Structures are given as C-alpha cells and as structure tokens.
Amino acid sequence: AQTVTQSQPEMSVQEAETVTLSCTYDTSENNYYLFWYKQPPSRQMILVIRQEAYKQQNATENRFSVNFQKAAKSFSLKISDSQLGDTAMYFCAFRQGGSEKLVFGKGTKLTVNP
Amino acid sequence: DTGVSQNPRHKITKRGQNVTFRCDPISEHNRLYWYRQTLGQGPEFLTYFQNEAQLEKSRLLSDRFSAERPKGSFSTLEIQRTEQGDSAMYLCASSLPELGEKLFFGSGTQLSVL
C-alpha cells in the first residue's frame, strides 16, 4: 500500500521569508500524481500544487514550487515570500494512476509570524 | 458557483444511533468523493462516485457505512449504529475531469458520538 510521510508536525516562518515543507512517499508504481493541499483554519482544503510523476520539471504556482526527486521518492514544497495568509495545515497527497483515491500524509502545521 | 456544500456542519449523536450527512457538489461536477478526517491526521478516502455510479470504495467503509448519489447530483453518507470511533470530520469533495486533478472540498460535517 502507498504511504505518505510528513516528518515535520509543525513549522514556523517569518513573514516574507522562505520555508520548505518535506514529504516522502512509498510506492512501487510508476504512474502516479503528487499534490500539496492547504487547510486553513476555516477548514476547506484547497489545492496548492500538483505534479505528475512522469514530468521531470518541477511544478510551480506563483510563490509555491516543489522539489520532486523521483528516485528518492521525495516531494517537498517551497513557499517563497511567506504571507500571513499562508498559515494553515499543509497536506502532501499521493494518487496512483487509474485510481481516484488520494492518500494523505498527517500534515504539517505552518505558522507565518509577522 | 457557491462551492461544495455540506450539511449539517455539526452533528452530535448517541452511540448506536444512525446519522446521515448530505453533500451538494458544485453544479456540473460529475465526480464526488467522501473522506474522513480524525484529529491530527490527514483525510482518509472513503468512496468515489462518477455521476450516480459508486466506482471506488475503501475497506474503511464497513457494512455500517453506505453512500448514495441517486441522481448524480447530491450525495448522502449514512452511518448506522454509530460507535465512538466514528467521531471525525466527514469531508466531501467534487471535481470535473476538465479541471484536471483539482478537488474542491466542502467545509465538512463534524460528527461527535457520545
């Protein structure tokens, strides 16, 4: 079974600085997708960024980028120029090709300090 | 577009009672998902519908759990003979294939079983 591990339960960063959240996963499959979701205190999960395993180029979305290391099964999220609104739980998630099931990690609580 | 709507927001019940939750997806989203999230954990997949067909179901969905999406629009999740271990946040999400992998989540229904 696929597993997703987020080794940092909590992190904090100063406003305008950069922070990196770690995620590792375990799978024997070659066709899969990786995601970072954000869950602010209002509770609605929001997709931050996604990465297809077959793409070597790291995905970027404005201030958010990933470092996808397929051989190491690592998928970290970098947030640049952190903003107070980035304060939230961040979940790394995995989806195997052919399945609609997302497997989530336990999450990292990020606090952006003014 | 008012987003994914879930009702009720909170439900308190006694052990052994049956409960039903409702999810209204974003209109025209043909994919609908149910997840369960306990404190300190990431969401766990329960089931997935494409239109009215239930195409994927987790082993977590025991005989006491049933989900329906009779007309391919709203969905209900019923838990029979509730147990204290059922206490969790139940999240619904919807998507459209044209939108890629992006799931739109509702705010969830918080279930407390006393």
Mean pLDDT across B83-102: 89
Lookup: tokens for A35? 């995601």
* Least Cα separation, residue B95 to chain A (angstroms): 11
Per-residue pLDDT of B30-80, as tens digits, reads 999 999 999 989 999 999 999 999 999 998 777 899 999 998 899 999 999
Q: What is the pLDDT of residue A90?
A: 98
Per-residue pLDDT of B9-26, as tens digits, reads 999 999 999 999 999 999
Contact B33 A104 (CB under 8 A): no
How big is chain A by its Cα radius of gyration, in Å?
14
Tell me how far apart the alpha carbons of residues A4 and A85 are, in angstroms, rounded to a whole number. 25
- The mean pLDDT of chain B is 93
Tell me how far apart the alpha carbons of residues A70 and A107 are, in angstroms, rounded to a whole number. 20
- Is pLDDT of A102 > 80? yes
Tell me how far apart the alpha carbons of residues A2 and A53 are, in angstroms, rounded to a whole number. 14
Cα→Cα distances B87→B90, B93, B100, B109, Å: 9, 19, 32, 10
Mutate to test the interface with A, among B1, B2, B45 (most CBs of A within 10 A): B45
- The total of other beta-carbon atoms located within 10 Å of residue B18's CB is 11
The residue of chain B with its CA nearest to that of A32 is: B101
Q: What is the pLDDT of residue B97?
A: 81
Taking alpha carbons only, the member of B54, B68, B63 closest to residue B21 is: B68
Strands A108-113 and A10-14, by their bridges, are: parallel
Q: What is the pLDDT of residue A56?
A: 86
Of A24-38, A69-83, A97-111, B96-110, give the lowest mean pLDDT range.
B96-110
- Is pLDDT of A41 > 60? yes
Lookup: tokens for B37? 């999230």
Contact B48 A50 (CB under 8 A): no
Q: What is the pLDDT of residue B2?
A: 76
For residue B8, report the phi and psi dihedrals to the nearest 5 degrees: -75, 175
Mean pLDDT across A78-92: 97
* Least Cα separation, residue B34 to chain A (angstroms): 10
